[in-house]
Amino acid sequence: MPATHEVTNQVPPLVGHDVAAYPALLQSLELGGAGWAVDEVRALGRRAGSEEAQEWGRLAERHHPELRTHDRHGHRIDEVEFDPAWHQLMTVAVEAGIHAAPWGDDREGAHVARAAKEFVWGAADPGHICPISMTYAVVPALRHNADLAATYEPLLTSRVYDFGLREPSTKRGLIAGMSMTEKQGGSDVRANTTRATPAGDGAHVLVGHKWFTSAPMSDFFLTLAQAPGGLSCFFVPRVLPDGSRNAIRLQRLKDKLGNRSNASAEIEYDGALGWLVGEEGRGVPTIIEMVNMTRLDCAIGSATGMRVGTLQAVHHARHRSAFGRHLVDQPLMANVLADLAVESEAATYAAMRLAAATDRVVRGDEHEALVRRVALAVSKYWICKRAPAHAAEALECLGGNGYVEESGMPRLFRESPLMSIWEGSGNVAALDTLRALARQPEGLGAFFDEVELAAGADSRLDDAVARVRKELTSLDDLEYRARRVVEQLALVFQGSLLVRHAPAAVADAFCASRLAGDWGVAFGTLPAVDTTSIIDRTGL
Ligand SMILES: Cc1cc2nc3c(=O)[nH]c(=O)nc-3n(C[C@H](O)[C@H](O)[C@H](O)COP(=O)(O)OP(=O)(O)OC[C@H]3O[C@@H](n4cnc5c(N)ncnc54)[C@H](O)[C@@H]3O)c2cc1C
C-alpha cells in the first residue's frame, strides 16, 4: 500500500520562543531608563511565546464573548460571559502590571517597562490589551477629581484581577473603560447628545446612548455627556455605592472584523448616575488625557503586530523549502523578510521612544512633553497605518497556510486595521498633528531637535529632514497635505532613531528605502542591503 499521507516540508508551530528576545526592544528598555526590568520582560516574553499562552489567545478569540442581557426570570443583568482563557490572559497582564501599575511605581522607566511588557504580552492576544490599556490610560484623567482618584487609584494600580460586578470600592482590583463614540459621530465628540442633569447631591443623571464602548464589563467608564455647562466627563460605575446596579443597559455586542476576544458594546444610559471628573464643560480636555495614553498603546499594539508577523514569516521561511532551498535562502524572499523586519524595528524603536517620553513627562520634563506631543501624533498615524500592509505581507510569506485560521495569521490580519481607526482614525490623527503644531509652535522645534540628534550621520536622513522642513514652510493647503507631511515627519523620527541606535544594516536599509526613495510600493523592494544581518535581528 503506498503511503498517501506522509507529511513533509510542513513547518513546526512557532512555540516556546521568547517574544522579548529582540535587540530593538531590549535596547529601548535601556535607553528609556528601564534596564532594571529586562529580566521581567524576558520572563513575560517567554510566557507569551509558550504553548499555553498561545492557546489562551486562540481560545479567547474562538469563543468570543457573549452578552447576557436578562436572567431567566426576565431581570436585566447586562453581563458579558467570557471564555476562561480570557480571564487567564487578563490575570497575567494585571499581575505583570501592564495595566495601571506604573502610576504607583516611582522608579525611573516604570512606564517604559510597562510598554515593553505590553509589547510582548500583546503577542499572546491583542484583544484583552484593550481593557488593560484603558485601565492604564484612565488614571491621569481620573486625577482631575481628587476624591475619586484617592478612592479608586489604589485599586486600579493593584496587581489583582478581580472580575465580576460588585461595588468598585469593595473589589481588590479594577478595570476601566471609556465611553465617547455615539451613533452620529466618533471623531467629532462635541456632537455627543447624551445628557447629564444635576441630581442635586453632587451626582448627575445620564440619559443617552453610546455606539461603541469596548470592555463593557469594566468596573467604571469615563463617559462624555452634555451637562448644563457643556460637554463634560463623568465617572460612571456599573455598580453604585449602595450596591445596586447603575442604569447602564448593554444593548448588543458588535460583530467585529477582528479584536474578537474583546467585547465592544452599544450601551444606553437610562438614568445612570455619574460624577463629574474635571470641570464642567471641559470634558474633551479631561478625557484627552486618557486618549493621550491609549494613543501610545495604539502605536505599541501595532508594533507588536509587526513583531508577531515578522516572527511568523521568518520562522516559516527558515523551515519551508521550495525549489530546492529554504525560503529564507531565496534572494527575493530575503528581500521581503528584511523589508518586514526593518518596518518592525522602526515601529518598535519609535513606540518605545514614545514610552520613554511618557515616562519623562510624568516626571515633569517639559521638553519631552513637546517632543511627545508631535512625535506621538505622527507615530500614531504612521505605525498604525503600516500595520495592515505589514500583516498582509507577513501572511503571504506562509503561502496558503497563512490564509488558514490555524496559522494565527488571519487573526493578526483582522486585528491590524483597528489601531488606525481607534483613538483618532487616520485623517483625524494627521489633523491632530496640525492642531498640535498650531497650538504649540515650539513643539515643532523640539521635535526637530530630537530628530537632529542624528544630524550628519547619514546624508539621506539629513536630506529628508530638509525636505519636510521645506514642506512646512508653506501653510497653503496644509490640511489637504496633512497625511503627506505627517508621514514624512514620522519617517524622519524613525530614521533618526535607527541611525542612532540600530545596527548599520537596519539603518542603511531604512534610509535607502523609506527616506531616499530607493524602494517600490510593496514590501520586498529593498535595494541591495545586508538582508542576512537584518533578518537575524529578529532573534529566530
Ligand atoms: C474595535 C473598536 C473598539 C472601539 N472602542 C471604543 C471605545 O471603547 N470607546 C469609544 O468611545 N469608542 C470606541 N470605538 C469607536 C472609535 O473610536 C470610532 O469608531 C472612531 O473614533 C471613529 O469615529 P466614527 O466611527 O464615528 O467615524 P467618523 O467620525 O464618522 O469618521 C469616518 C471617517 O472620516 C474621517 N474624518 C473624520 N473627520 C474628518 C475630517 N475633519 N477630515 C477628514 N477626514 C475626517 C475619519 O478619519 C474616518 O476615516 C471603537 C471602535 C472600534 C472599531
pLDDT at 283: 97
Nearest-CA residue for atom 44 of ligand 1 = 427
Nearest to 32 by CA among 358, 362, 424: 358
Compute φ and ψ for 9, nearest 5 degrees. Answer: 60, 20
d(CA 263, CA 510): 38
Q: Please say whether the beta carbons of 424 and 297 come within 8 A.
A: no
Our mutation pick for probing the ligand 1 site, out of 184, 187, 435, counting the most ligand atoms within 8 A of Cβ, is 187
Distance 156 CA to ligand 1 centre (A): 27
**Quick one: which H or E segment has residue 160?**
none
- Among the atoms of ligand 1, which is closest to the Cα of residue 425? 47
d(CA 312, CA 341): 11
- Among the atoms of ligand 1, which is closest to the Cα of residue 184? 26
User: Tell me: the pLDDT tens digits for 178-236?
Assistant: 999 999 999 999 999 999 999 999 999 999 999 999 999 999 999 999 999 999 999 99
User: Tell me: the pLDDT tens digits for 460-501?
Assistant: 999 999 999 999 998 889 999 999 999 999 999 999 999 999
Evaluate if residue 239 carries a pLDDT over 80. yes
List residues near ligand 1 (CB under 6 A).
177-181, 185-188, 212-214, 256, 259, 264, 418, 421-422, 425-428, 431
Residues of the chain with pLDDT > 70, as a percent, come to: 100
Distance 442 CA to ligand 1 centre (A): 29
User: Tell me: the pLDDT tens digits for 349-398?
Assistant: 999 999 999 999 999 999 999 999 999 999 999 999 999 999 999 999 99
The radius of gyration of the chain from alpha carbons, rounded to an integer in Å, stands at 23
Nearest-CA residue for atom 7 of ligand 1 = 213
Sequence letter at residue 429 = A
Evaluate if residue 429 carries a pLDDT over 90. yes
d(CA 472, CA 447): 13
* Distances 14 to 305, 314, 353, 406, 432 between C-alpha atoms, Å: 15, 10, 29, 12, 39
Q: Which residues of 425-435 are buried (b: 16+ CB within 10 A; e: fewer)?
A: ebebbbbbbbe
Evaluate if residue 4 carries a pLDDT over 90. no
Evaluate if residue 59 carries a pLDDT over 90. yes
pTM for this one? 0.98
pLDDT at 5: 86
Nearest-CA residue for atom 14 of ligand 1 = 212
- Cell numbers for 85, please give them: 482563557
- Cell numbers for 258, please give them: 477582528
Distance 430 CA to ligand 1 centre (A): 13
Nearest-CA residue for atom 29 of ligand 1 = 187
pLDDT at 474: 87
The model's confidence at residue 98, banded by pLDDT at 50, 70 and 90, is very high
Nearest-CA residue for atom 16 of ligand 1 = 422
Q: Average pLDDT, stretch 117-129?
A: 98
Q: Write the DSSP assignment of 14-82 as a string of letters.
A: --S--TT--HHHHHHHHHTT-GGGHHHHHHHHHHHTSHHHHHHHHHHHHS--EEEEE-TTS-EEEEEE-
Beta bridge partners of 76: 70
Q: Which residues, other chains included, contact 463 with Cβ-Cβ below 8 Å and sequence gap of 6+?
A: 515, 516
d(CA 149, CA 124): 31
- Among the atoms of ligand 1, which is closest to the Cα of residue 424? 21
- Cell numbers for 118, please give them: 505590553
- Among the atoms of ligand 1, which is closest to the Cα of residue 185? 26
Beta bridge partners of 429: none
- Among the atoms of ligand 1, which is closest to the Cα of residue 182? 26
Q: Write the DSSP assignment of 331-363 as a string of letters.
A: HHHHHHHHHHHHHHHHHHHHHHHHHHHHHHHHT
d(CA 114, CA 63): 28
- Among the atoms of ligand 1, which is closest to the Cα of residue 421? 20
Distance 202 CA to ligand 1 centre (A): 32
Distance 428 CA to ligand 1 centre (A): 9
Q: Please say whether the beta carbons of 343 and 306 come within 8 A.
A: yes
- Grid look-up 514624512 returns 488
d(CA 399, CA 300): 27
Distance 424 CA to ligand 1 centre (A): 6
| Longest Cα separation, the chain | 86
The total number of residues written for the chain in this structure: 540
- Cell numbers for 384, please give them: 498604525
Nearest-CA residue for atom 43 of ligand 1 = 427
- Among the atoms of ligand 1, which is closest to the Cα of residue 187? 29
Distance 207 CA to ligand 1 centre (A): 22
d(CA 263, CA 259): 8
pLDDT at 1: 61
d(CA 146, CA 157): 16
Which ranges of 440-530 does DSSP label H, i.e. alpha helix?
442-451, 459-471, 482-501, 504-510
Q: Which residues, other chains included, contact 234 with Cβ-Cβ below 8 Å and sequence gap of 6+?
A: 196, 204, 206, 222, 223, 224, 225, 274, 275, 276, 277
- Among the atoms of ligand 1, which is closest to the Cα of residue 181? 11
Nearest-CA residue for atom 33 of ligand 1 = 425
Distance 429 CA to ligand 1 centre (A): 11
Our mutation pick for probing the ligand 1 site, out of 136, 175, 181, counting the most ligand atoms within 8 A of Cβ, is 181
For 379-443, the three-class secondary structure string (H helix, E strand, C coil) is: HHHHHHHHHHHHHHHHHHHCHHHHHCHHHCHHHHHHHCCHHHHCCCCHHHHHHHHHHHHHHCCHH
Evaluate if residue 2 carries a pLDDT over 80. no
Question: What is the phi-psi region of residue 167: left when phi exceeds 0, alpha when psi lies from -120 to 50, beta otherwise?
Answer: beta
pLDDT at 334: 98
Distance 233 CA to ligand 1 centre (A): 19
User: Tell me: the pLDDT tens digits for 7-45?
Assistant: 999 999 999 999 999 999 999 999 999 999 999 999 999
- Among the atoms of ligand 1, which is closest to the Cα of residue 254? 1
